[in-house]
Amino acid sequence: MKKLIFLLFLLNVLFLQAVNSEKQAMIPETLWEFGRVGNMQVSPDGSTLLFTVTYYDAEENTSSRDIYTLPVEGGEPKNITNSEYNEFNAMWRPDGRKIGYLSPKSDYMQIWEVEPDGSNPRQVTRVAGDITGFEYSPSLEHLFFTKRIKIEEDPHDLHPDLPESNVLIYDDLMYRHWDQWHDYKYSQIFITPYQDGSIGRYFNIMENQPWNSPLPPFGSIEQISWSPDGKKLAYTCKKKTGKDWTLSTNSDIYLFDVENVETTNLTTFNKGYDRNPVFSPDGNYIAWESMETPGFESDKNRIMIMDLSDKSYKNYSEGFDRSSSNFRWSEDGEKLFFISGINATYQMFSLDIDGEEITQITDGHHNYNSLELAGDFLVGERMSMSSPVEIYRVNKDDGSQEQVTFINEPVFEEIQMGEVEKRWIKTTDDKEMLVWVIYPPGFDPEKEYPALLYCGGGPQSAVSQFFSYRWNFQIMAAHDYIVIAPNRRGLPTFGREWNDQISQDYGGQNMQDLMSAAKKLKTEPFIDENRLGAVGASYGGYSVFWLAGNHNGLFNAFISHCGMFNFESWYGSTEEMFFANHDIGGPYWEDPTPHSYEFSPHNFVENWNTPIMIIHGAKDYRVPKSEGLQAFNAAQLQGVPSRLMFFPEENHWVLQPQNSILWQREFFNWLDKWLK
């Protein structure tokens, strides 16, 4: 049976080779030709899509984001902004007569409105400072907006006679986060009366307290939600500061009464994350995403629903062994649509509220990133390893899917993609592990190829059907590498036990899973077992460092991006301590020292003997730059062939077009040197 399946696969490959014979393989610049679709919305009458497309100019090292509309059934997109600025947070006004959005056309980022046909753009707000998000109330009597305001005293307040001084002073933790030092400012929610393009006097519902909503660093406007009558606002907040903030994931859902100016905490019973509230159409219920385990940022996201009349609540995913997100109520309030991961893909699901039955709607080798209701259909942003995001329309009843946008069709007319194969591989503890195998365009089964083991990050981030603009499997395959991408232990979409196993076992079963995938695939006749590399970022970068000291000659080259090298120095310099405490087990000065410190790669560095490239960004505060520098120094001092690529202006990621293109070139220069 396996031979028959492989024969059919080869026949399909040969057919596609003939079809694509005149197309070109991807190069680093190709990734910056794609338009990046996002911010999808549906008009109030369900007929029209609203979305943004971001285009990059690699030569100028700039980007431009515009707003588009398109009928839900498809057609030609209409660009309604067509400006030189980056517009975002686009949304339909609840009456459908205007489109609101944020634009930096004036001195600050402000709310603008435009007619649905793109005419008559008009500035709505003129507040000091940048607005970071907003949403109209359904009644159109109010709108809220968020902006960062200075709450704490800074050094210039303490020393006003030294205006040219440049210093930061702190008395508590969270002095830096992700890629920014704390600047004494916090994201606050403001509510203002609104009437047909005009706002009134606005006020801060968070009363200038040192809390943030949305939550940093990646919280979006989805963490704040209006009730259907516009009289209440639910928002996500972790009302902690400093050391307490960095040790806890205990965020809550707060309900603000606009008329009575009162705030109620709805989720005092839960000590983990509570986020992203969504009201039912009648306003009687509220659904939100909830994690039960304190301090565990990758715990199962449960479907929680509360009856607001008596504050009773229920976990509707009690028997559903996966996380859920992107909640959307049906118009009659009888169903809740959502996205969940299954076997390294992300699909649309529905929950029947009364029957408490969960049904999978979509299927296939793809990820849905979002979903919205559009009359009898669902629409969502969909991507795969072979395609960046496009918008699809989904039949609620049979799950059939139809592509609606074709933003990147001109790019695909010129390039050839490699085949993506799904395999199940036996692990050392006799379990089945899903591994994606990505083949070069024009794959020749009679040829021997070098191969790359992709070590996933997170550590709890599924190696799913994502389309990355840096860790892109298709561009790796286009350079004539076969890519081995395993969903090792510790990754979601395979149930809670598989997801949770990795915590405090960083050098354990998940590393055996990675090597199992490499050892199994290298036996294929089309893979040269003497030309095998391992690459990865973040936890994947840590994985590469660990493998470098423990692989026993399995690999011939390594690349580690922003990986943890020394657990003691990493624990002492990272910022979100709840993550370190949960996954490592606590500080290194505890007696006894948590056993996880035994898995620190620096403990095995004397075994390093394989060429390694080390990449790091100066503004990475999650895994600070000293981790990469220590690893490079250790390799150099031991005479291990090594190269350091350091980005002074990048964080945990590489985001600027030219930096990213350079990253790709050096990435493949290093691999080609040692594997080809």
- Active-site residue (options: 386, 516, 652, 660): 652
Q: Provide φ and ψ at 570, rounded to 5°.
A: -65, -45
- The pair of structure tokens assigned to 370 is 């979002």
Sheet holding 232-237, edge to edge: 224-226, 232-237, 252-257, 262-265
The span from the CA of 592 to the CA of 585, in Å, is 11
Predicted confidence band at 505 (pLDDT cuts at 50, 70, 90)?
Answer: very high
Q: Which residue in 400, 516, 482 sits closest to 676, CA to CA?
A: 482
Give residue for tokens 């507040």.
Answer: 127
Phi, psi (degrees; rounded to nearest 5) at 328: -140, 125
- pLDDT tens digit sequence for 355-388: 999 999 999 999 999 999 999 999 999 999 999 9
* 43 DSSP 8-state letter: -
Q: What percent of the chain has pLDDT over 90?
A: 95
Alpha carbon 68 to its chain centroid, in Å, reads: 23
Average pLDDT value for residue range 473-484: 98
pLDDT for 122 equals 95
| Domain ranges across the chain | 416-675
d(CA 584, CA 502): 10
Burial label, 312 (beta-carbon count in 10 A; 0-12, 13-18, 19+):
exposed
Determine the Cα–Cα distance for residues 39 and 220; give it in Å rounded to an integer. Answer: 11
Q: Decide: 113 and 98 in contact? Cβ < 8 Å.
A: yes
Reply yes or no on whether 398 is catalytic.
Answer: no
**Position 514 pLDDT exceeds 70:** yes
pLDDT confidence band for 12 (50 / 70 / 90): low
- Reported as a single tens digit per residue, the pLDDT across 39-86 is 999 999 999 999 999 999 999 999 999 999 999 999 999 999 988 889
Residue the block writes with tokens 């809220």: 144
Between strands 345-352 and 420-426, the pairing is: unpaired
Any long-range contacts for 652-655 (C-beta under 8 Å, 24+ apart)?
652/178, 652/179, 652/537, 652/538, 652/562, 652/617, 652/620, 652/622, 652/623, 653/470, 653/617, 654/470, 654/617
Among candidate residues 189, 182, 232, the one with its CA nearest the CA of residue 207: 189
**Rounded Cα gap, residues 389 and 600, in angstroms:** 37
Catalytic residue among 560, 620, 642, 660: 620
- To the query of whether residue 330 is one of the catalytic residues in this protein, the response is no
Predicted confidence (pLDDT) per residue in 589-635, tens digit: 999 999 999 999 999 999 999 999 999 999 999 999 999 999 999 99
Catalytic residue among 538, 596, 600, 660: 538
Asked whether the predicted pLDDT for residue 22 surpasses 80, the reply is no
DSSP per-residue string spanning 368-416 = E---EEETTEEEEEEEETTEEEEEEEEETTT--EEE---TTHHHHTTB-
Strand stretches in 61-125, DSSP E? 62-71, 78-79, 88-92, 99-103, 110-114, 122-123
**286-331 confidence digits (pLDDT tens):** 999 999 999 999 999 999 999 999 999 999 999 999 999 999 999 9
Q: Does the domain at residues 416-675 carry the CATH identifier 3.40.50.1820?
A: yes
Nearest alpha carbon to residue 71 among 13, 116, 32? 116
Residue 636 CA neighbour count, 13 Å, CB half: 9
Those residues with Cβ within 8 angstroms of residue 667's Cβ, 6 or more apart along the chain or in another chain:
535, 559, 613
Whole-number average pLDDT of the chain: 95
Cβ atoms of residues 533 and 508 within 8 Å: no
**CA Rg value for the chain:** 25
Q: Are 47 and 72 in contact (CB under 8 A)?
A: yes
Determine whether 298 is exposed, middle or buried from the number of CB atoms within 10 Å of its CB (0-12, 13-18, 19+).
Answer: buried
The verdict on whether 660 is a catalytic residue reads no
d(CA 305, CA 292): 14
pTM over 0.85: yes
Beta strands in 411-523 (DSSP E): 420-426, 432-438, 449-455, 482-486
